[in-house]
Amino acid sequence: MIADFQEWARGRQECIETSLQSLLPAATIAPERLHGSMRYAVLGGGKRVRPLLAFAAGELSGASEERVTIVAAAVELIHAYSLVHDDLPCMDDDILRRGKPTCHVEYDEATALLVGDSLQSLAFELLTGSQLADTPQVQLNMIKRLAQAAGSRGMAGGQAIDLANVGKTLNLPELEFMHIHKTGALIRAAVMLGAHCGNNLNDGELESLDHFAEHIGLAFQVVDDVLDAEATTATLGKTAGKDAEHNKPTYVSILGVSRARELAEELRHEAYQSLEGFDGTAVRLRQVTDFIIQREF
């Protein structure tokens, strides 16, 4: 089963990499430096967790791989843009990402700013370029969902809450509120957009899936905090220990490593329970869940 998952995941990761390569403008098209830096920021790195979730949710809803690939690419572009902007000196001021110099270090700050801005536009452009759902109205709803997940009441809002919280003591509900926005919203969008590419889920099933996505989003962040506290920079491919260094509240700073690991297990259990109404079609979602909890980078 694990070998089977690894093969499936590798296949999907290759698929998303190939698609991103062709969907991103070539570095030979003007403005060349901008297009080159967009490719630098997106290609050849990352676990592609959000695309894997979109593909797994697509299997649940009978979606075609062609449709899910575009949706997964759009979500990954939003994620990549957020990393480029988060790494800027006025935000986290980080120099290492996915084992490479961050975009503003490799290029310059102004270019990194425009890279993020352009990747966001491209994500929405992708969602309009081909048929991604059974009706254009469903496709409009998918765009709405991604826009909300990315915006001030989603991911960007989570970043703002994160900034406001530096140096503060948070309790668990406050930390959870931040992460539901900062990482949770986009992970949830990845799952739901993948599902909306297909058509065989009823409203109750979509609700269960959304419940699953909410919990897996939190679990992802809990594990991220544990890894940041325990891993080395080499394993992580980004600067390790920076949460503590920046005096940022994390699941580890509030709960300690041991209790944070328990919490991740509880969230996995809850996520699994949300999938109980589904038959074998949910096998990939369960496997991606395990991958998220057990990953070491």
Among residues 86, 71, 75, the alpha carbon closest in space to that of 50 is found at 75
Where does this chain bind a copy of itself (CB under 8 A)? 25, 29-31, 33-35, 38, 81, 85, 88, 90-91, 108-111, 113-114, 116-118, 120-122, 124-125, 127-129, 135-137, 139-141, 143-144, 146-148, 150-154, 156-157, 159-161, 163-164
Minimum distance, C-beta of residue 7 to a copy of itself, in the bound complex (Å): 35
Torsion angle (degrees, nearest 10) of CA 40, 116, 159, 152: -150
Among residues 65, 50, 285, 288, the alpha carbon closest in space to that of 197 is found at 65
Quote the tokens at residue 160.
């703002």
Ramachandran quadrant class, 237 (left: phi over 0; alpha: psi -120 to 50; beta: rest): left
Quote the tokens at residue 185.
């919203």
Which residue, 157 or 237, is less far from a copy of itself as judged by CB? Answer: 157
Which residue, 116 or 198, is less far from a copy of itself as judged by CB? Answer: 116
- Residue pair 218/176 in contact by the 8 Å Cβ criterion: yes
Which residue, 59 or 214, is less far from a copy of itself as judged by CB? Answer: 214
Minimum distance, C-beta of residue 49 to a copy of itself, in the bound complex (Å): 21
Which residue, 120 or 287, is less far from a copy of itself as judged by CB? Answer: 120
Which residue, 96 or 161, is less far from a copy of itself as judged by CB? Answer: 161
Which residue, 91 or 96, is less far from a copy of itself as judged by CB? Answer: 91
Q: How far apart are CA 64 and CA 198, in angstroms?
A: 7
Which residue, 125 or 262, is less far from a copy of itself as judged by CB? Answer: 125
Minimum distance, C-beta of residue 129 to a copy of itself, in the bound complex (Å): 7
Q: How far apart are CA 76 and CA 51, in angstroms?
A: 7
Alpha-carbon torsion (64, 66, 69, 74), positive or negative: negative
How many CA atoms, within 13 angstroms, populate the side-chain half-sphere of residue 120?
Answer: 19
Minimum distance, C-beta of residue 11 to a copy of itself, in the bound complex (Å): 29
Minimum distance, C-beta of residue 62 to a copy of itself, in the bound complex (Å): 22
Among residues 80, 82, 88, 54, the alpha carbon closest in space to that of 189 is found at 54
Minimum distance, C-beta of residue 47 to a copy of itself, in the bound complex (Å): 23
Among residues 160, 153, 152, 129, the alpha carbon closest in space to that of 142 is found at 129
Q: Which stretch of DSSP H or E encloses residue 237?
A: none
Which residue, 156 or 231, is less far from a copy of itself as judged by CB? Answer: 156
Q: Which residues of 120-147 are buried (b: 16+ CB within 10 A; e: fewer)?
A: bebbeebbeeeebbeeeeebeebbebbb
Minimum distance, C-beta of residue 193 to a copy of itself, in the bound complex (Å): 13
Minimum distance, C-beta of residue 149 to a copy of itself, in the bound complex (Å): 8
